[in-house]
Amino acid sequence: MTARPSPAPPARPLPLGALLALAMAGFITILTEALPAGLLPQMAAGMHVAPTWLGQLITAYALGSMLAAIPLATATQGMRRRPLLMAAIAGFAVANTVTACSSSYTLTLVARLIAGISAGLLWALIVGYAARMVPHEQQGRAIAVAMVGTPLALSLGVPAGTLLGNILGWRLCFGLISVLTLVLMAWVRLGLPDFAGLPGGKRQTIRQVFSLPGVRSVLFVVLTFVLAHNILYTYIAPFLATAHLAEHTEWVLLVFGVTSVLSIWVVGALIDRHLRRLTLVSTLLFALAALLIGLAGTQPVAVYAAVACWGLAFGGAATLFQTALAKAAGDAMDVAQAMLVTAWNLAIAGGGIVGGVLLDRFGTTTFAPAVLMLLLATFWVVWSARRGGFPVAIIHVKGALP
């Protein structure tokens, strides 16, 4: 009689408490970044500066994040992870407390720069931290849970914070974020495991990490995909005006937000087995959205359908790219994630520049062709990165050779 093979051991449950602490860190990061945009008139009046000057608070944040991510991640490779994570979170407590109390525009600008620097380090740490807490086969799901704070902050946190700021005052709003940050620091200290930094022999330079198989492919995909997204997202208002939906912008963004959250749930459930396929499908969905916009961008029904496809494509994209990069970089995942932060911020800035040029010279009708060209390049690189970056999954069949 042939003995039956023993059943595979059940999957270990995810450490949800620790992963949700990382998600809250992402939530606070996005809330700190985006809230000044919603409270811009009140903050400008409170600091006695023009709204255009106050807009530079957002620029200072982005600049700090973009410039600091790679140098800090490289310089701190040997440090223990939990104290480093807590130091990054503490930067938000300091920055938001100063913002809540300061009446000096210059001091607030410096505080925003500190917050941006903290964000650059934090984004470089979150993915690697989540990946280290679980077995290799659960890393995608863990990263998806750790990143859920981002869409929740954009779809719920920023609107709620803006409403609260309008009712209670913007200073109290930033003060409450500081209180949340202190709670998070206690949660991290008590609820997250600590990990050692890399020993000297395993630390890698930026050039070495950039040369690892698959890293360049993933970074290129991040740049093109996010650039395509930001061409549309940055100039969503003038685009919607062509479809006579300018007065319904909030409903269009709600559709985008809801489908983005749905996308994160789907990606989180399937990513560990189908990372490559999900990335290809996301790119095709985004291309379908651009095609609908190009062919019927003046029809409200087509616009809503396009935005739904766009949200489904974009919601889980960050998790897909971060997981792919973590697997490609291995022990150097924190430095690689810092590169992703830089590429992402470059794409945000590039979307504003490229979209602005297209809008001024040719109008919103050129958005769809530009996005499709970028997505064609994205699809080609993902499809070609079969060995590194977005590898074809190898399935072991019972009885087959290993």
207-384 has which CATH code? Answer: 1.20.1250.20
Mean pLDDT of the chain: 86
For 31-62, give the secondary structure using H, E and C: HHHHHHHHCHHHHHHHHCCCHHHHCHHHHHHH
- Give the pLDDT score at 223: 95
In this prediction, residue 119 has a pLDDT band, given cuts at 50, 70 and 90, of very high
Query: CA-CA distances (angstroms) from residue 41 to 67, 160, 166?
Result: 28, 17, 10
Given a contact cutoff of 8 angstroms between Cβ atoms, the answer to whether 27 and 91 are in contact is no
Angle among Cα 82, 327, 75 to the nearest 5 degrees reads 45
DSSP-derived 3-state class of residue 17 = helix
- Give the pLDDT score at 10: 57
| Token pair recorded at residue 369 | 């062709």
- Give the pLDDT score at 394: 45
Q: What is the pTM of this model?
A: 0.81
Name the burial class of residue 346, with classes exposed (0-12), middle (13-18) and buried (19+) by CB atoms within 10 angstroms of its CB: middle
pLDDT at 239 > cutoff 60 = yes
CATH assignment of 16-195, among 3.40.190.170, 3.40.50.300, 1.20.1250.20, 1.20.1560.10: 1.20.1250.20
Among 22-36, 78-92, 341-355, which is the least confidently predicted range? 341-355
Mean pLDDT to the nearest integer, 241-247: 79
- Give the pLDDT score at 228: 94
The stretches of 243-366 forming alpha helices (DSSP H) are 249-296, 300-315, 317-329, 333-361
Mean pLDDT to the nearest integer, 305-330: 91
If one compares 198 and 110, the residue with the highest pLDDT of the two is: 110
In whole angstroms, what is the distance from residue 114 CA to residue 322 CA? 24
| Domain boundaries of the chain, sorted by first residue | 16-195, 207-384
pLDDT at 396 > cutoff 50 = no
In whole angstroms, what is the distance from residue 195 CA to residue 309 CA? 39
Asked whether this chain's domains 16-195 and 207-384 adopt the same fold, the reply is yes
pLDDT at 58 > cutoff 90 = no
In whole angstroms, what is the distance from residue 93 CA to residue 194 CA? 21
In this prediction, residue 395 has a pLDDT band, given cuts at 50, 70 and 90, of very low
Question: What's phi and psi for 366, nearest 5 deg?
Answer: -90, -5
- Give the pLDDT score at 393: 66
- Give the pLDDT score at 388: 85
